[in-house]
Amino acid sequence: MILGKPRCLSLALGLTALLAGAQATAQDSNWSAYLGGADSGQYSTLDQINTENVSKLSVAWRYSSEGADEKKVGQIQCNPLVIDGVLYGVSPFMKVFALNAATGEEKWTFTADEPKKSVCRGFGWWADGTQRRLLYGGGPFLYALDPDTGKPVEGFGDGGKVRLSEGLGRDPEKIYAESSSPGVVYKDLYIIGLRTMESHPAAPGHIRAYNVHTGAIAWTFHTIPQPGEFGYDTWPAGAHEFTGGANSWAGMSLDAERGMVYVPTGAAAFDFYGGDRHGDNLFANTLLALDAGTGERKWHFQTVHHDLWDRDLPAPPNLLTVEHDGKTIDAVAQITKSALVFLFDRETGEPLFPIEEVPAPASDLEGELAAKTQPVPTKPEAFSRSTFDFNDITDITPESREMVMKRWEVIRRERFGPPSREGTLVFPGYDGGGEWGGAAVDPETGLLYINASEMPWILTMVDINQLGSDPALREGAMIYAKQCLFCHGVEREGNPFSMYPPLKGISERLKREDAEALMLAGKGFMPSFKNLGEKGMKNILDYIYAADAPRDEKADDEKPEADKKPIFRHTGWNRFVDHLGYPAIKPPWGTLNAIDMNTGEIVWKSVLGDTPRLREEGHEQTGTENYGGPLVTKGGVIFIGATKDEMFHAYDKKSGKLLWETKLPAGGYATPATYMVDGVQYVVTAAAGGKMGTDEGDAYVAFRIEN
């Protein structure tokens, strides 16, 4: 379903197309960088597969990255590299592999030193003559692998790897630091960000450049400024010593000609309460333009002041060229979870469309000082709904509407409404709007293609003093609140839509010694808790295993006044759904959008995905939540998986019309790639599911036109 009609393209767009055509290069048969290139454009010049023949696509090969098609093993968010006929990918357990890109035949595999179920979205690639490096974030390490053999490069760090927690100014054994998204290669430097914890104690989110030969750190940029550095006064004094986050987990983009790297950052820790970090908190939630050779700041723009909603910048910015006010401008566009796109002059950081500071409501939580204004660009308009009014409440069934209405009436619903005890609407939700799948840009037209989820969430705060009254369990309750509450909730109920299991009733399912072994080793998204020490581990296990006992309300009343001071945490990442599990808002729940970045106008909007059960009951196409991004080609086609219905889609990039779709073995929650081998164009995507409660797998699937 296409929402609305395609709008006429501007004269400026036509001029841009002519310029792009004049500068066009030969077709690139490789997919040689994360998201297609250093510009993060998610674009290919290949056109063998086009709007006329895309319906003839069929499976060329399928690869089981964990060796068993039917094994439910995890999710894959990897956008693979394809270079000179070899595809490089990663499995749910972080195993790296190289395949013959035409047949899917395995050439080699490499398993990290600390294999675990995690996320690696792609690789860095460095080459200089006969020397080559495949750079890979595997758990706590950054590896340099020989792409011909998969063996670690001995001269890089310690036997081919460096520990990412080192060099952050904290004890490397006591902090969590990984790299889920690849960085960019500039000359002999690999510039990369971090994935950190989102609660205390979080590592600081330094941006670092590593020497590709030795693994030594060449430069560091402090995203939480230190004394004497710009932005230090936007934090409490000494914040760099006790707070963390403000990290770039989503990847970055590079303008090699200018020698500038564009780095998006996320929220400061912890995500939803900033009573200990008063101020705007530069450089959290900021698009940074840095000198790629030295790390020197050239310019910056903060998209959220004093973030209280986990509004990380979720994807690398897109580098593109636009026509603006009669001028041809090299620009950088940054998508956001709130479905806004900020567009800047790439050289100066000057906004190309005005940005207004919009008044924001105050917080009613003790100790919190929410920012008084938040920045909103006047163009482009938001690519998903930003408000949830009475008329938007679901009408899937009368019971659904009644249930949702009761909850909707009592929560805070203001734009930029701060976290609250009664619950605050977060819409678009924690996962967007836009997300890590990123946006695609057609350099010939200046059109940006972006998929959006339209799922509301509810953010509820709680005083952790509510967790328990037994003094003997107090220390364990405090540790639980800091380390576990985010994922497992106040009542230890877990989150059925994610990978966080319930802890309630754990004594009936898991022996205490087995739970201790699990916490020491870590599993999935849960890091090791060995940093707690023997006493800390005992305290938290005491609390978890005793938490099902009845509460002593009298003991709560008898606490000293100092112990009654609120300590705020949130109750978990909770989607706002009806009793059937469907979103509380009317469809569409997912869209694919085309935005003319020359004019800031939305050109077309199509529904993305469907809910088969509701279609069978007579409902129109609903769209679905979606994870993973689009790929656009010179052949006129947009390829995207992403949807909860586990389909892989092809759309006409000019009109938004669905041209073809097919069922994947599991959800395709990754950004696809395209390449050519022996004169044949292929499109490949990871299809391992694991998001939104869907089945897990381990597959990569490649398609081609059969003659």
pLDDT of 175-188, one tens digit each? 999 999 999 999 99
CB atoms within 10 A of CB 507: 15
Give tens-digit pLDDT for 228-239.
999 999 999 999
Work out the average pLDDT over 90-110: 97
What is the pLDDT confidence band of residue 561, given thresholds at 50, 70 and 90? low
Residue from 318, 450, 294, 305 nearest 383 by CA: 450
Bond preceding residue 361 cis, omega within 30 of 0:
no
Residue type, position 423, single letter: G
Which SS3 state, helix, strand or coil, does residue 207 take? strand
Q: Give me the residue label for tokens 């009669």.
A: 326
Q: What is the pLDDT of residue 51?
A: 98
Domain ranges of the chain: 1-30+321-367+380-458+573-626, 461-571
Question: Does residue 614 have a pLDDT over 60?
Answer: yes
Name the pLDDT band for 523 (thresholds 50, 70, 90).
Answer: confident
Measured distance CA(132)–CA(148) in Å, rounded? 9
β-pairing, 81-83 vs 184-186, is unpaired
Quick one: average pLDDT of 592-602?
98
- pLDDT surpasses 80 at 126: yes
Grouping H, G, I as helix, E, B as strand and the rest as coil, residue 371 is: coil
Strands 318-324 and 297-302: unpaired
115: how many CB neighbours lie within 10 A of its CB? 13
Which two structure tokens, joined as six digits, stand for 548? 């099902």
Specify the pLDDT at position 528. 82
Tell me the two tokens of residue 177.
């630091």
Question: What CA–CA distance (Å, rounded) separates 236 from 224?
Answer: 11
Q: Tell me the mean pLDDT in the region 585-596.
A: 98
As a whole number of angstroms, the distance between CA 639 and CA 660 comes to 10
With pLDDT > 70 as the criterion, what percentage of the chain qualifies? 91
pLDDT at 67: 87
Q: State the Cα–Cα distance between residues 513 and 521, nearest whole angstrom.
A: 12
Would you say 254 and 124 are in contact if contact means Cβ atoms under 8 Å apart?
Answer: no
SS3 of residue 485 by DSSP: helix
Q: Give the Cα separation of 268 and 276 in Å (integer).
A: 11
Under 8 Å between Cβ of 601 and 614: no
Q: Identify the band that residue 527 occupies on the pLDDT scale cut at 50, 70 and 90.
A: confident
Question: What DSSP letter does each residue of 10-69 carry, written as one string?
Answer: PHHHHHHHHHHHHH-------B-SGGGSTT---EE---SS-TTTGGGEEEEEEEETTS-T
131-138 β-sheet, strand order = 124-128, 131-138, 141-145, 161-163
Residue 325: is its pLDDT beyond 60? yes
Handedness of CA 501, 503, 506, 512 (dihedral sign): positive
Among 195-209, 299-313, 499-513, the range scoring the smallest mean pLDDT is: 499-513
Per-residue confidence at 10, pLDDT binned at 50, 70, 90? very low
Look at the alpha carbons of 32, 177, 316, 440 in this order and tell me if their dihedral is positive or negative: positive
For the domain spanning 461-571, the CATH number is: 1.10.760.10
Residues 6+ apart with CB under 8 A from 166: 172
pLDDT of the residue at 217: 98
CA separation for the pair 626, 606 (Å, rounded): 14
* Rounded CA separation 214/217 (Å): 9
Split at pLDDT 50, 70, 90, the class of 334 is very high
Looking from the CA of 451 toward its CB, the CA atoms found within 13 Å total 33
CA end-to-end distance (rounded Å), the chain: 30
**φ and ψ at residue 80, rounded to 5 degrees:** -70, 160
Sheet holding 86-90, edge to edge: 81-83, 86-90, 95-100, 106-111
Chain segment 422-474, per-residue pLDDT in tens:
999 999 999 999 999 999 999 999 999 999 999 999 999 988 776 666 777 77
Three-state DSSP at 475 gives helix
The helix (run of H) or strand (run of E) holding residue 403 is helix 398-408
One-character DSSP codes across 331-383: EEEEE-TTS-EEEEETTT--BSS-EEEEE-PPP-STT----SEEEEESSSPPS
Amino acid occupying residue 422: E
Encoded amino acid at 526, one letter = M
As a whole number of angstroms, the distance between CA 136 and CA 129 comes to 21
pLDDT tens-digit series, residues 347-368: 999 999 999 999 999 999 999 9
Does the pLDDT value for residue 281 go beyond 70? yes
Predicted confidence band at 625 (pLDDT cuts at 50, 70, 90)? very high
pLDDT greater than 70 at residue 371: yes
Q: Reply yes or no: is the peptide bond before residue 283 cis, omega within 30 of 0.
A: yes
Q: Give the largest CA-CA distance in the chain.
A: 80
| pLDDT at residue 25 is higher than 90 | no
| pLDDT on residue 496 | 55
Residue 14 has pLDDT above 60, yes or no: no
pLDDT at 4: 55
Block residue for tokens 């670690």:
152
Tens-digit pLDDT profile for residues 127-174: 998 899 999 999 899 999 999 999 999 999 999 999 999 999 999 998
How sure is the predictor about 524, in pLDDT bands with cuts at 50, 70 and 90? low
Which residues fall within 8 angstroms of residue 179, CB to CB, at 6 or more apart? Answer: 137, 142, 164, 192, 193, 194, 195
Instruction: Write down the H helix ranges in 214-355.
Output: 239-242
